[in-house]
Amino acid sequence: MPAQYDIFLNCACGKCFCSSSAVPCISCFLCALIHGILIFIGLLLLAFIPSNTSMLAGAGLLGLCYSVATVGTVMLCMTMFGIENYSSVYPKISMGTTLANAAGASIIGYLYDFTGSYLIASYLIMAMVAVSMIIIAKCYQRKTAR
């Protein structure tokens, strides 16, 4: 098999793309951290800087994060649980994230109806992203300790 296919398969299977050896992948973990940081920046721009430019930049960052969350969940599941457990773990995680997104939209709407502002919802989302980042970091530490 040509080297470029070997490198691609190693990246797709949770191995680092820098070589074709079985180096544990840190790129999925970094992608999750960058995703969380972009959400923080986007929400801060939307919540605290009242200008059209910052609102467009914040909305753009949050829009980018939706696509990263879709692809990143698959990559993170493959990296953390391995390909052999992927088919049993990913459907549960996918169902949980779908239910959380459905409930989250309603909760954000109710918070806006009661407070007249999205600021409390922004704080809630930032707190949930922080908790998610901590959980991912702990899982990554446990995986690399094995």
Three-point CA angle 37, 9, 66, nearest 5°: 30
Q: Tens-of-pLDDT digits for all 146 residues of the chain?
A: 344 333 333 444 444 343 333 344 556 666 677 777 888 888 888 878 878 888 888 888 878 777 777 777 887 788 778 888 888 988 998 898 889 888 988 998 999 999 998 888 888 888 888 888 888 788 777 777 76
pLDDT at 107: 92
Residues 6+ apart with CB under 8 A from 85: none
Question: Which residues make Cβ contacts (< 8 Å) with residue 82, sequence separation at least 6?
Answer: 14
How many angstroms separate the CA atoms of 109 and 113, rounded? 6
Q: What is the spatial distance between Cα 77 and Cα 15, in angstroms, rounded to a whole number?
A: 13
* Residues 129 and 36: beta-carbon distance below 8 Å: yes
Cα-Cα-Cα-Cα dihedral sign, residues 47, 48, 51, 53: negative
**Whole-angstrom Cα distance, residue 20 to residue 42?**
36
Nearest to 139 by CA among 32, 45, 53, 51: 32
Q: For the full predicted model, state whether its pTM sits above 0.75.
A: no
- For the chain, what are the domain ranges? 3-14+26-145
